[in-house]
A and B are shown apart, each in its own frame.
Chain A
């Protein structure tokens, strides 16, 4: 049996899905969190009839059966093409009138439907009353009041849903005046309004200023809102990187993976009489690489805990509204901020979240700009470089995120100029009520992200760094090398290294770390850990430590910029390819991202060195040549595009 969960965005479908399947899919207190369907088996607890193989499908939110955005199309095609046995229509208790539009459409499809009146607590908190029996009679459909967070009403809901699925009894189609006319949508809404008038008693005075309104007048204020947002984000990253997250990471890096684990493994392997080669491969390769990444787990955990609290209380939805005004100026809208906030966790779901954007230009632009937001994988690079080069400047790490917002704004302006994009979309977003954030939800988010982080460290990072250790210790003749610069890795790094000279990075090691970083960004840190573990016992991230032989503080900052703002890892590039829909656009996107990251790193390195040390760093002349080429390209392209806007309008 297949049970589909369908309803408006942010009505609680995924929360209900997680409750009845035991999964931990991402949920959020805003619309558009689920952009793809997800399937899982029903938990035994809710399968009172003991049927085999009951699958529950969580569908992206939709306001209507006629799709407007691509994630709504997923819902429509599933319902119409895959014939679920029963549909659980989740109706948002906070917005019954709007939710019933979709409900009445579902009742016309001939598939058994049961309604879950979710967020029942919101109705009672507002003092509103809904006559569920009358509403059920009016719609000719069973209604069960539920609260997906507490689990209230779910057993009854699933019992009835399974029974309906067994009976396969088609619902009675709603009949209303004008249902076959051209204005059927207006007629349908009128019909719903009539039902609501009969069944719902609203005691709340809408003109009354609530506490939520008062808070919004400050945090969503057109001038105060942005500084408040920056301040909050700065505090979040400060707590994560410099506060408790940083403190715990220091212990993980310095003591756990710096001493305890390597010493224990070395002692164990020596006891077994294992050869020094195998011992070094395991300890200096695998453990050093994986440990260097896992050491930053506390940082990631604290960051996601804070972001989950902010999101769950309803603040992030306000940020989308706040940013709309500023994003409009660069051809984006508030809708673009959602993928970017999701992208602060991981670029892949961030890029996938662009599906909620219906305007093709805005969607492409957001897909290209979202990877500029430093994701969780980039956090270890930020933490490492700021700890080594700026130990006394706690403000630098959080400021990197503010720089990222600046890069997105400038990048957006450039994209708009280069491709002559106009934003035609209007941004309408439903603002959820403020609520006390759930610690349970925040911890669930932390566990989910931490599991993903550890999984990545024990798969791709382990494989890459075993390979990195081998290639830095052996030459092409497969004989061990005394000098790392004669190794396989060095010879590969030396081919790429010249590209990095205008950026002031001299050495094959930087090229090797950057290349492995395209497989997974954490590899940048892990590769340095492996390369430096061979020559030093000192922990990688010690202030003024081993990394200073490759970088000055200014070139270190430039290297950080290079790794943050050049194209993301392969997984995110794959997601970009899917969302952009063509290889041509993917190539343009990657070229743009690489140019932005490269140019920014070059400017930081050369101008920064000139200001701080009184002279430019290595590669100044090549940097000038590259700068001239970039400026000429931009001027000529913008001029050309400006004169032929009609020819260059994007294909829809």
Chain B
């Protein structure tokens, strides 16, 4: 039971962390494909 709780919490933490990164990337229009993909909000002002 304790094993389930610990493993479940760790896995849920990893998935939630990954989800926040996905949402953050989506908001910043990043594709996570390396440095060539930069955040539009940062670099496209005035275009």
Task: List residues of A whose CB falls within 8 A of some B CB.
Answer: 23-26, 36-39, 70, 73-74, 77-78, 81, 269, 272-275, 278, 281-282, 286, 342, 345-349, 355, 375-377, 448-449, 451-453, 455-456, 458-460, 462-463, 466, 569-572, 574-575, 578
Asked if residues B31 and A346 are in contact (CB atoms below 8 Å), the reply is: yes
B19: which A residues are within 8 A, CB to CB? 463
* Closest Cβ neighbor of B29 among chain A residues: A574
Q: How distant is the Cα of A145 from the Cα of B15 in the complex, in angstroms? A: 51
One of B26, B33, B37 near A570 (C-beta < 8 A): B26
Count of inter-chain pairs, beta carbons less than 8 A: 124
Taking A73-B46, A278-B4, A452-B32 as known contacts, 5 extra A-B pairs with beta carbons closer than 8 A to each other, sorted by chain A number, are A26-B36, A38-B38, A78-B46, A376-B33, A572-B31
Q: How distant is the Cα of A56 from the Cα of B15 in the complex, in angstroms? A: 35
Query: What 0/1 pattern do residues 20 to 47 of B give for CB contact below 8 A with A?
Result: 0110011001111111111010111111
Asked if residues B34 and A451 are in contact (CB atoms below 8 Å), the reply is: yes
One of B6, B22, B29 near A460 (C-beta < 8 A): B22
Asked if residues A269 and B32 are in contact (CB atoms below 8 Å), the reply is: no
Please list 26 pairs of residues, one from A and one from B, whose beta carbons are closer than 8 Å in the complex, sorted by A's number. A26-B36, A36-B38, A36-B43, A36-B47, A77-B46, A81-B46, A269-B7, A272-B3, A275-B4, A278-B8, A286-B11, A349-B33, A349-B36, A349-B37, A355-B47, A377-B33, A448-B35, A448-B36, A456-B32, A460-B18, A460-B22, A460-B32, A463-B18, A570-B26, A571-B31, A571-B33
Q: How distant is the Cα of A455 from the Cα of B47 in the complex, in angstroms? A: 28
B44: which A residues are within 8 A, CB to CB? 36, 74, 578
B7: which A residues are within 8 A, CB to CB? 269, 272, 274, 278, 282
Name the distance in Å between A101's Cβ and chain B's nearest Cβ: 23
Name the distance in Å between A599's Cβ and chain B's nearest Cβ: 27
B34: which A residues are within 8 A, CB to CB? 26, 345-346, 448-449, 451-453
Name the distance in Å between B12's Cβ and chain A's nearest Cβ: 10
A459: which B residues are within 8 A, CB to CB? 18, 21-22, 25, 32
Name the distance in Å between A299's Cβ and chain B's nearest Cβ: 15
Name the distance in Å between A474's Cβ and chain B's nearest Cβ: 16
Name the distance in Å between A436's Cβ and chain B's nearest Cβ: 24
Asked if residues A466 and B15 are in contact (CB atoms below 8 Å), the reply is: yes
B22: which A residues are within 8 A, CB to CB? 459-460, 463
**Dominant SS among interface residues on chain A:** helix
Asked if residues A346 and B37 are in contact (CB atoms below 8 Å), the reply is: yes
Asked if residues B46 and A575 are in contact (CB atoms below 8 Å), the reply is: no
B25: which A residues are within 8 A, CB to CB? 459-460, 571
One of A37, A348, A574 near B33 (C-beta < 8 A): A348
Q: How distant is the Cα of A375 from the Cα of B38 in the complex, in angstroms? A: 17
A282: which B residues are within 8 A, CB to CB? 7, 11
Asked if residues A70 and B47 are in contact (CB atoms below 8 Å), the reply is: yes
Asked if residues A25 and B35 are in contact (CB atoms below 8 Å), the reply is: yes
One of A37, A77, A570, A575 near B43 (C-beta < 8 A): A37
A273: which B residues are within 8 A, CB to CB? 1, 3-4
Q: How distant is the Cα of A73 from the Cα of B45 in the complex, in angstroms? A: 10
Q: How distant is the Cα of A23 from the Cα of B44 in the complex, in angstroms? A: 19
Q: How distant is the Cα of A70 from the Cα of B37 in the complex, in angstroms? A: 18
The 5 A-B pairs of least Cβ separation, nearest first, read A452-B34, A272-B3, A36-B43, A346-B33, A571-B31
Q: How distant is the Cα of A570 from the Cα of B6 in the complex, in angstroms? A: 34
Asked if residues B31 and A348 are in contact (CB atoms below 8 Å), the reply is: yes
A38: which B residues are within 8 A, CB to CB? 38, 42-43
B4: which A residues are within 8 A, CB to CB? 273-275, 278
Q: How distant is the Cα of A455 from the Cα of B21 in the complex, in angstroms? A: 10
Asked if residues A345 and B36 are in contact (CB atoms below 8 Å), the reply is: yes
Q: How distant is the Cα of A537 from the Cα of B21 in the complex, in angstroms? A: 31
A23: which B residues are within 8 A, CB to CB? 35
* Closest Cβ neighbor of B21 among chain A residues: A459
Assuming the contacts A272-B6, A272-B7, A278-B7, asked whether A462 and B36 have C-beta atoms less than 8 A apart, the reply is no
A74: which B residues are within 8 A, CB to CB? 43-47
Name the distance in Å between A25's Cβ and chain B's nearest Cβ: 5
